[in-house]
Structure 1
Amino acid sequence: MRQTRRSDDTFARIREADGVTMDRAVYRADFHGVYREMEGVLWKLERAQYFHEPYSASWVAWAEGDWDRSLALIEAAKAEYEADLPSRVELRRLRIVEHPRSPYLEWELRVLAARARAGERPRVLDADAVRHLERERPLPELLIPSPDLLYEILYDQGGAHIGGRRIADRALIEPCLTLLSALYDQAEDLPAYLTREPSPHLL
């Protein structure tokens, strides 16, 4: 008899699944081709507490210790954030946060706040709420445009984006979406979270 997997194996199965591994350029082209045509909810799961983002002018300013310039660049990117999110797509981002927050997260949460004002729907969930799902490894970084397609976003050990894995297995993706949606329901809207947990660095 086939053994039934527990619900806490759902994200682990993503890492084990067959998929097409792409470098950063191929992944971006593949995803943007899908994104241009999709409608509905785009799900994003972010677990790592640091990403290396030298392609972001605001990140560079933050990395150089210039908080004021970093924040100003975030605000200046309003039109860019709005353009990233067409009206036909609702982006639901679940951001897992360790406490105390890393310096990187202090910066990223301000970016997400600006994106929320542009129409994105980010929520924050304390890492303690997903410990039971991380018996062996942290949750994967995921982008899910439909029940038929999932991208596992790949990063190197330094947090630099190196590509993605394209997985097209509905039997695997549907339970992943169910679990991700349940975690999102538990999470707190980002504006409310930042009001409750303000950053001493960025006030």
Structure 2
Amino acid sequence: MPDRNAPELRPEWGELLARDDYKRDFRERDALIRGRDSWKLERRQYFEEQGSPSWEAARRGDWGEALRLLEDRRPALLAIGREDAARRSFFHRVRVVERPWTDYLRWQLHSLRIRAECGERVRMVDAAELADSEEFGQLPEIVVLGGHTLYQVRYSEAGIPAGAIRYTDPDLVLRWEGYLADLHRVGEDVLAYFEREAVHGRRWFGGR
């Protein structure tokens, strides 16, 4: 694992963005990226995926429908992967995993597998490996976009998106980019993880 703790991050160093402002700011900045990668850290074990018919089906226990709807997104994800390749800008995701798995994580593993098959670079890290970085609290949800913008993505206690704090200090962005790159480097590829845990481990669906 990385031989350093996570960089410090204080809310007063950034600018608070409401949810719609964050989404708009993210889209505008992402569209300008050429030749630089982006990084995401997902630490929470549950998010409320608003507007996701697949997640709603999983919540109802209809896993067949949930997986079918995830597969329906494959063409759009392949198009994103081709665009990323053309821009020479790839999205790297670090997904932290705790046990026992939440039903959300069981569902998300299928989503992450498809994303990886479509070009996203996803790696899994066990929460136990983050003990040094989490001595004083759980790591935040982080996106580092193209080496120039850091977002601390905010959620309610129920996992509902609540905007973000935007940071643009170059040194701060660089430190977090390096930390996430280190986590990604030592993590396990999601396809190998999925094969071992979800297929061989028979943990495909909630409650199993």
Instruction: Give the alignment's TM-score, normalised by structure 1.
Output: 0.90
Matched residue, 1:32:
27
After superposition, residues 1-203 of structure 1 pair within 5 angstroms as 7-10=4-7, 13-39=8-34, 40-85=36-81, 86=83, 87=85, 88=87, 89-198=89-198, 200-202=202-204
Note if contact 2:30-2:146 (Cα within 8 Å) is conserved in structure 1.
no
**After the TM superposition, which parts of structure 1 deviate over 4 Å for at least 4 consecutive aligned residues?**
none
Distance verdict in 2 for CA 1:9–1:187, change over 3 Å: closer
Amino acid in the other structure paired with 1:129: E
Note if contact 1:82-1:119 (Cα within 8 Å) is conserved in structure 2.
yes
State the distance in 2 between where 1:84 and 1:45 align: 20
How many percent of aligned residue pairs carry the same amino acid?
33
State the distance in 2 between where 1:83 and 1:20 align: 32
CA RMSD, Structure 1 to Structure 2 (Å): 1.7
- 1:82 positional shift: 2.5
- 1:164 positional shift: 0.8
State the distance in 2 between where 1:22 and 1:82 align: 30
Aligned length in residues: 196
Note if contact 2:6-2:179 (Cα within 8 Å) is conserved in structure 1.
no
| Unmatched segments (≥5 aa) in structure 1 | 1-5
- 1:17 positional shift: 4.8
| Unmatched segments (≥5 aa) in structure 2 | none
Matched residue, 1:3:
none
Instruction: Give the alignment's TM-score, normalised by structure 2.
Output: 0.88
Superposed CA deviations along residues 66-102 of structure 1, whole A, max 9, x for unmatched, are 1110000000111222234422221110000002221
- 1:201 positional shift: 4.2
Amino acid in the other structure paired with 2:166: R
Aligned residue for 2:111, secondary structure, equals: helix
